[in-house]
Each structure stands twice: as C-alpha cells, then as structure tokens.
Amino acid sequence: MISKVNTYISELESMKKYPGELFFKGNIELLNRKKISIVGSRKPNQYARKLTHEIAFKLAQIGVCIVSGGAIGTDIIAHKAAGVENTIMVAGTGLDKCYPAINKNVIQDIESNGLVLSQFKAGTPSQRYNFPLRNELIVALGEILIVMYADENSGTIRSVEYAKKMGKEIYVLLHRMGESTATNKLLKQGAAKAIYDIDEFVKSFGNIQEKKSDDFLEFCKTNPSYDEALKKFPSRVFEAELSGDIEVKNGRILVEV
C-alpha cells in the first residue's frame, strides 16, 4: 500500500528544496536509523562488486541502514548485501511501478520488509529528469556518501556534486589507473577520502560482531558440484558468487580456505 510520509525528516533540510510530497511503501521506522548512502556505476568491475557487497553487509551488521536507488549494478548489490530489512530504496518513479523491472523481486521484497521512498505520485513513469531528484534524496538521507565505482561524466557524479553542496563526506575505493576514473580524480583533488581497510572503516560507525561459522561456506569447502550447492543452499549460491566468496569452475564450487 502506498502511503504519504507525514513526519518531518530533518536530513532532507540539506536538499535545495524540501520535498513537497513524499510517498512510501514499507517500514517508515527505518528513517530513524543511522543511514549511509551507497552509489556507483551500473557496470562496476568485479573488484567493486565484491567490496560493495562486503561494505554494505558489514555496515548492516552494526545497525546501519543502507540507502541507494534500486538500479542494476552497485545499487542492487548494496541493497541485497545489507538485507532488505536494513535498506532504504529511493525510487525515480511512482510507487505503483517497479523500476527497473529486472530488479522487480528485490524491490518488492524491500517494499515488504524494508522501505521504498519516492517524491513522485503513483502513475509517474521512468523519465530522465526524475533521477537527479532521486539522487539528491539518496545523498541527503545518508550521513556520508560512498561511491564504489564511477567513470567521468556518469550520472553518479551528480550525486557527488549534491554531497559537496550538502557538506557531506565522500568516501571511495582505491582503484587501479584507468578504472573508476571519476573516483580516482576525486582522490587526486582531495574531494574524497579513500577506504583503505573495510573493517576499520566500518568500526568508525559501530562495533563489528565476531564472525560466526557459516554452514554454507563450510559446505563449499568440500568442493561440491554447483547443482549440489544450489539444491542445499538455493538462496546463497548467487550471492556468494557475486561477492567473490566462491568461484564456479567446471561445474564445481571453489572457495579459498
């Protein structure tokens, strides 16, 4: 069910103009949590994909709510890694639409167990000029902005400009020369801080819990077939492959011991 947000959200005072209307589906109480915004390319490299997953997962473990935009690539990795109950998605359409359609199942899960926000009335389609407004709202909600991967002249850079205007700290990953050229440029200009150690970074927002034994990874250490792993842990295989925790080679699961 689509509802209108009737409570004042202090974080949105940093926007150029406080939203005239704001609609939501899900758990509005997530707005009261400590929030961090994660954005980046729709086509991040494997290194950025893996670290996006790790950062979002570990931040969620200490009670941080991850804010992103539900797009393919960086956004959806961050939402899934945090767990939908620990994530806020900001939509660029009316909330009667699931956009992008490829992420429909995850978005519906966030609507049920997390929170989806939109400045647009029901019926509003995906339009180019909606997304700068969406990006500004994503940045405003977060205490800081983390940019995982971005090339110059990409849409992600607009989020960086919002963060600068709002006076928010911007964090980026260290990338090789020629990759994620926009974030490397931000570091060179002194406009962003680098994340050198993920655990150290996460600890600045709360205490990391000691890692518990993972039955799935223990099973994968036995070098099972892909089909065996999929049958036993259907919801974990894709996520672990995406995060780089496992590798599928010749139909079998490989994991570093």
Above pLDDT 90, what percent of the chain?
77
Closest by CA position to 117, among listed 143, 102, 136, 101: 136
Q: Which domains does the chain have, with CATH numbers?
A: 10-203 (3.40.50.450), 215-254 (no CATH)
Which pair of structure tokens corresponds to residue 15?
Answer: 């926007």
Over residues 95-127, the pLDDT tens digits come to 999 999 999 999 999 999 999 999 999 999 999
- Whole-model pTM: value is 0.82
Residue 216 confidence class, pLDDT cut points 50, 70, 90: confident
CA pair distance 44, 25, nearest whole angstrom: 28
CA pair distance 240, 233, nearest whole angstrom: 11
